Structures are given as C-alpha cells and as structure tokens.
C-alpha cells in the first residue's frame, strides 16, 4: 500500500526486452534500507525490486502491466515519481493507493490559475463513473483531489510544491497518465450495483 505522496523522483537508466520488460531506475533512496522483493510505486505502478545497487534498483514489468499503463513508453532519461511502500505507523498524508493502475487518462488542457496549474483530463468511460468532485485519484502515483467532473472529463490543480517535487512540472497536453481510482469509490459503486 502507498499514500500517493511522492518521496523521490527517479530516472529510468535503461530498459531491456526479456519477454517482459526489465528497467533500471536510479534514485536517491538509501538502497541499504530497501529489501530485495520490496515494493516501490514507479509512476503509480507497484513494482518489485529484483536487483539493487548503491543508487539504483531493477524491476521486471509484465506484458499485462505494460498494456494497462504508460510504462511501455519508458526510455532512458525519463523522470518518474517514486514512493516506497507504507509502513505501519507512517503518516497517511494522501489517500490509500494500491499501485494497481486501472487505466490511462489523457491530459486535454492545462491553464495557469494564480500560482497553480489547472489540468483537465479525460478518463475511459468505465472508470469515469468512479471519479467524483472532491474525491481522490492517483495520477502517475500522486494523490490528488478532483475539483470538477463532467462526464468522462475531470479537473485537478497542481500547486507549486507538487510541480517542484514530482514530475508534474514536466506535464503537457496529450500526455497519457496512469490513473488509479479511489479504492473506496470502487467498493461503494460495487455495493450499489448489488442492491
């Protein structure tokens, strides 16, 4: 489990096709404290550490994960949001995030509003029904509050801190981002279907 509070910006050093994709990611984490087999959210996708060094770790990414996320576009040099798994007693500063991406959302508009940036995204219809105003979503692993919803379109705002401490300062119209809907919204919708 994760919180959607990005704790490092990593960089894809290289990728290899081995049937699945293997990626090496550089980071500023103290890798002495990261166990083999640990989970790290990489742009919102829960991935398993399979090898590590002083300032890097390797992950394998299955074809299934590549088909549901934007990780198939990873190339050397790409900056990515990182978050280590939540430990018992850690502060839950964002919302409960599983690292199981539901699909992709497209950035359709960006507009400056004071010091913040309002971003409009389009979600797949089958996921849009789970997105509610003032609810939470995880986008590329970042816990965000939904401002407005109109059909399959929803809006969020990035404050300067978020843009400076995540990869969201690099975002542009047309980007496809990893979308994980709020787990609670999913269960509430399922309960309503059963009534």
The two counts, helices (H) then strands (E), for the chain are 4, 14
For residue 191, give both structure tokens. Answer: 């309960």
Gap between the Cα atoms of 60 and 70, Å rounded: 15
Both tokens of residue 69? 């996320």
Task: Report in angstroms the alpha-carbon separations of 101 from 15, 54, 109, 140, 193.
Answer: 20, 29, 22, 9, 22
With 80 as the cut, is the pLDDT of residue 184 above it? no
Distance CA 154, CA 136 (A): 11
Same domain, 111 and 173: yes
Is residue 90 one of the residues assigned to a domain?
Answer: no
Domain holding 31, by residue range, is 8-84
What does the pLDDT read at residue 19? 84
pLDDT at 190: 67
pLDDT for residue 81 is more than 90: yes
pTM attached to this predicted model: 0.92
The CATH number covering residue 176 comes to: 2.40.30.20
| Residue 120 and residue 76 share a domain | no
110/188 same-domain check: yes
Give residue 130's region: left, alpha or beta (phi > 0; psi -120 to 50). Answer: alpha
pLDDT surpasses 90 at 192: no
Residue 95 lies in a domain: no
How many Cα neighbours within 13 Å face the side chain of 96? Answer: 5
Token pair, residue 30, equals 């103290």
**Which residue from 128, 120, 115 is spatially nearest to 173, judged by alpha carbons?**
120
By CB neighbour count within 10 A (0-12 exposed, 13-18 middle, 19+ buried), where does 80 fall? buried
- Tell whether 190 and 111 lie within a shared domain: yes
Note the pLDDT tens digit of each residue in 115-134: 999 999 999 999 999 999 99
Q: Is residue 3 part of a domain?
A: no
Q: Which of 49, 84, 119 is the last residue of a domain?
A: 84
Q: What is the total count of domains within the chain?
A: 2
pLDDT score recorded for residue 65: 96
Q: What would the pLDDT profile of 56-75 be if each residue is shown by its tens digit?
A: 999 999 999 999 999 999 99
For residue 27, being part of any structural domain is answered with yes
Query: Residue 89: inside a domain, yes or no?
Result: no
Same domain, 74 and 154: no
Q: Which of 35, 57, 84 is the last residue of a domain?
A: 84
Distance (Å, whole) CA 145 – CA 142: 10
Decide which of 24, 53, 84 is a domain's last residue.
84
91: in domain:
no
pLDDT > 90? residue 193: no
CB 49: neighbour CB atoms within 10 A?
A: 18
């Amino acid at each position: 489990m994760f919180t959607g509070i990005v704790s490092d910006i990593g960089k894809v050093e290289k990728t290899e096709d081995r049937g699945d994709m293997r990626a090496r990611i550089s980071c500023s984490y103290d890798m002495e404290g990261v166990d083999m087999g640990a989970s790290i959210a990489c742009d919102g996708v829960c991935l398993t550490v399979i090898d590590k060094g002083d300032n890097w770790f390797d992950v394998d990414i299955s074809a299934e994960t590549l088909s549901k996320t934007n990780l198939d576009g990873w190339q050397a040099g790409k900056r990515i949001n990182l978050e280590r798994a939540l430990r018992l007693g850690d502060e839950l500063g964002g919302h409960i995030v599983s690292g199981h991406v539901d699909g992709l959302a497209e950035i359709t508009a960006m507009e400056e509003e004071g010091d913040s940036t309002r971003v409009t995204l389009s979600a797949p219809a089958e996921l849009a029904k789970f997105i509610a105003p003032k609810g939470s979503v995880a986008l590329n692993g970042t816990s965000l509050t939904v401002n407005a919803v109109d059909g399959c379109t929803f809006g969020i705002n990035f404050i300067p801190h978020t843009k400076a401490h995540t990869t969201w300062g690099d975002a542009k119209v047309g980007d496809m981002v990893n979308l994980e809907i709020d787990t609670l919204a999913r269960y509430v919708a399922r309960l309503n279907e059963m009534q």
